[in-house]
Amino acid sequence: MAKGQFITTTVSKLVRASGLLLVGLLPVSGIEGQIQNQADDGQWVMAPKNYASTRYSTLGEINTQNAGSLKLAWTFSTGLTRGHEAAPLIVNNTMYIVTPFPNYLYALDLTKPGAPMKWVYQPDPVPSSQGVACCDVVNRGAAYWNGKIIYNTLDVQTVAVDAKTGKQIWKTKLGDINTGESITMAPIVAKGVVLVGNSGGEFGVRGWLAGLDAETGKIKWRAYGTGPDSDVLIGKNFKPFYKKDQGTDLGKTTWPGGMWKIGGAAAWSWISYDPDLDLFYYGTSNPGPWNPDQRPGDNKWGSTLFARRPETGEAIWAYQISPHDLHDYDAVNESILLDLNIGGQTRKVLAHPDRDGYVYLMDRATGEILSAQTFGYVNTSFGVDKKTGELKLNPTKQTGFKTIRDACPAPPGVKDWTPSAYSPRTGLIYIPHNNLCYETQGVQANYIEGTPFVGMNVRMYPGPGGNRGIFSAWDPVQAKTVWALNENFPVWSGALVTAGDVVFYGTMDGWFKALDARNGHLLWQFKVGSGIIGQPVTYKGPDGKQYVAILSGVGGWAGGIVSGGLNAVDGTGALGFLNAMSDLGKHTTKGGMLYVFALP
């Protein structure tokens, strides 16, 4: 198999498992139960594009030769001004957009000029849920399944809406905002099970990921991120690859006293699914509080990658990337599922660009590390021991009840939630990321239910070179960067790559860009009204043309200084991000607008 090739049969199985029919733009309604291969890539039915989380489209009308001619086709205003991080969905000639709080769901008719609104669903989330959103009241999108649009609301509820009418089918409450819980992540549906996890690692929550019946909304199971094996859904089939993750009730015994009950390890970001192995993959957030001296031990299962069964939640393997996490290096980033030629052998792998600054290439059946190399500047560790799975920590950068300076990367990591894209044509992963370092001082964190539980004073600032962001192309086989572009601000948008060898992303100062996926050359850019922290998507319209869509609306953790109207005089605000972003307001303003582009 050629380097970087993605097995076609695997793609087909990934689509078949969803129960979707994606042949051209044939109507999906009424024939959901049929099993079909993916013959056309004209729709976008889940936030990560597919179960493999490649964010790759086989559409190629827009290519390196003509991308410079892209024009604005139409726009849509959400009327909101907080951070817009969602990926639009496109199903049956309808576009669906989930907004930040109050989490409206809009349906836009793509068959009519200007895509007028068909309906809007208003879930009416509890207003006080905004008070327990650590990093803006964002939402990262929805999933289509069996005639339903399924998504989460900030107040810890999951809702299913009829895709045709906008009528609510079911709504399930999964947690309690009074304990500090919220939900911002985009769910996926695997084998008829909605997979969704909570946020709140900075509020002393106990993290979990749950499985809901997609037809009824009934909770089938809940796997906690901390506690005894019975709560974490660890049983006889649990076989971690590394000795450090083997043992009994480690989610309890690696914590002092009962701190595992307020220990974080939430599941607030991306999920991937392999139907061949019948395993889904996700990462847990940081253990809490940030001050590690208050929680001696490995603090399992914080900052951990899990592989589980969708129908039962049973854990099959786990790998704790950052035991006793010192720097808020959540393991929640996407895992891209690929079949690659590694050392002359085809391996089923997952590629995980982690906040700690390493791209982990792992056997997704066993959890074995095949490679782990840095994709940005890192001085908090010296590498990963592939034999033991241990991260080699830099003792001079270990935090606690002391002051540490010039630790890199800062808590958002070399890359935060912002999802990468993979092209089987180039064999490259396109990674939006950060270049930030920080200084920190540990203080005592006292737990009060529903309030911040951090214990660190943090100030972030630009890393080496002075640029705060980078967009790069990574070769997962050679484990190295092929090309990289510096950006003034952290790259807080997702990436999209197409069969036209064009890769798209946005910047926090409001540029939507198209690059040549092979060499990073700028092909086109368009200045939108507000900074971009959303996820670009592409689709085939009813007219047969290819379109590219992006939500603008600066915000999120990185852009909270603008969307939240914050004052940067105290650089420790927004968990230290204000110090690094004090000038953002000079480059962009608040907004909430969808932009759609096409060739003339």
Q: How far apart are CA 430 and CA 421, in angstroms?
A: 5
Which residues 6+ apart lie within 8 Å of 208 measured at CB? Answer: 175, 197, 198, 222, 223, 224, 225, 266, 267
Which residues 6+ apart lie within 8 Å of 318 measured at CB? Answer: 238, 240, 245, 301, 304, 305, 306, 307, 367
Q: How far apart are CA 467 and CA 456, in angstroms?
A: 25
Phi and psi at 553, nearest 5°, equal 145, 90
Phi and psi at 232, nearest 5°, equal -85, -5
Distances (CA, A) of 357 to 142, 398, 574, 584: 28, 16, 22, 24
Catalytic annotation, pick one of 85, 181, 202, 231: 202
Catalytic annotation, pick one of 286, 291, 299, 435: 286
Amino acid letter at 270? Answer: W
Amino acid letter at 82? Answer: R
Which three-class secondary structure string do you get for 33-61? CCCCCCCCCCCECECCCCCCCCCEECCCC
Catalytic annotation, pick one of 85, 231, 328, 356: 328
DSSP assignment letter at 132: G
Only one residue has tokens 């009074």, namely 178
Which residues 6+ apart lie within 8 Å of 325 measured at CB? Answer: 286, 287, 292, 299, 302, 303
328 part of the active site: yes
CB 540 within 8 A of CB 59: yes
563-580: burial string, b at 16+ Cβ within 10 Å, e else: bbebebeebbbbbbbbbb
- Quick one: which of 239, 250, 244 has its CA closest to 316? 239
Three-class SS of residue 538? strand
Burial of 297 (0-12, 13-18, 19+ CB in 10 A): middle
Residue 79 falls in which region: left (phi positive, over 0), alpha (psi -120 to 50) or beta: left
Give the catalytic positions in this structure.
202, 286, 328
